Amino acid sequence: MMTFAPVEPAYRVEPELIGPETFVVRSLQPALGAPLSVYLNSLVIRGAEPVIVDTGTIANRKQWLDDVFGLVEPTDVRWVFLSHDDIDHTGNLEEVMAACPNATLVASWAITERHSNAFEFPLERCRWINDGSSIIAGDRELVAVRPPMYDSPTTRGLFDASTGVYWAVDCFASPVPGNDPVTTVAELEPNFWREGMTMFMHHALSPWLSIVDPVRFAAVCDENRKLGMTTIATAHAPVITAQSIDAAYELARSMPTVTPPPAPDQNVLDEIIAATAA
């Protein structure tokens, strides 16, 4: 019997402390047909009311649950924030809601509408918040803010003004070389970073970049930057530390006017298959 179960990551990438009581929970997936890897991250905020931000992947389920519950006791988790309804962010939602009986699920009308085919939302345990709204998680206010680039209409990032950490969801996604788990984008060669982000933003996240007004888009980027974040964590890139934030927004602003490389086509798939067979 053929099985199509996703392949578990070949090795573990440890959670990374990126701010006070704030951890990126990481895994790495090899990119197809290129000597690159892509992060699949989520976030844990330990505070008076601990928060799990996105719920990892099915492929990494066992390690993800071990990593998250190594940082926070399931019964202490008070909030589960879903940034959007993509499978790489909802992979362990059911496991988390079952393990964390005191957690409120922070979703939205659109997330619920779009994801009820895969998950029975416990509505009495849900809170709906939209772009610009916030929750008070004990000792901190967490503001839902949509990043400038995204792949789902439901996307809201999460900004913690008490630590300066902004969860930018899929925005700024960019691969890393080989299977080298570099921790910050400052460790990437600048051209590699720019090319990787261009490829991902145009072909894997926000193809609408080619049709937006560059000036209006730049203003959206600037507005987002004004949150005043000092660290950006994202699902699919190394951490963007303070020294790299302006460069990240410079790259973002340029996206509508840069020409991306061609999207991989059947010829590329044939090459990947041939290379795998060899």
Please report, as ranges, the residues that interact with Fe ion according to CB under 5 A.
86, 88, 151, 170, 235
Tokens matching residue 227: 């949150």
- Output the smallest distance, CB 151 to Fe ion, in A: 4
240 closest CA partner among 168, 141, 178 = 168
Rank residues 77 and 237 by Cβ distance to Fe ion and give the closer one. Answer: 237
Q: How far apart are CA 125 and CA 106, in angstroms?
A: 9
Rank residues 88 and 160 by Cβ distance to Fe ion and give the closer one. Answer: 88
Rank residues 117 and 267 by Cβ distance to Fe ion and give the closer one. Answer: 117
Tokens matching residue 21: 């009581």
3-class DSSP state for residue 53?
A: strand
Rank residues 186 and 204 by Cβ distance to Fe ion and give the closer one. Answer: 204
Residue pair 111/153 in contact (Cβ under 8 Å)? The answer is: no
Rank residues 153 and 228 by Cβ distance to Fe ion and give the closer one. Answer: 153
- Output the smallest distance, CB 235 to Fe ion, in A: 4
For residue 49, give the DSSP letter.
Answer: S
Cβ of 186: how many Cβ atoms within 10 Å?
A: 16
Nearest residue relative to Fe ion (C-beta): 86
Q: How far apart are CA 15 and CA 26, in angstroms?
A: 6
- Output the smallest distance, CB 170 to Fe ion, in A: 4
**215 Cα distance to chain centroid:** 26
- Output the smallest distance, CB 16 to Fe ion, in A: 18
- Output the smallest distance, CB 277 to Fe ion, in A: 30
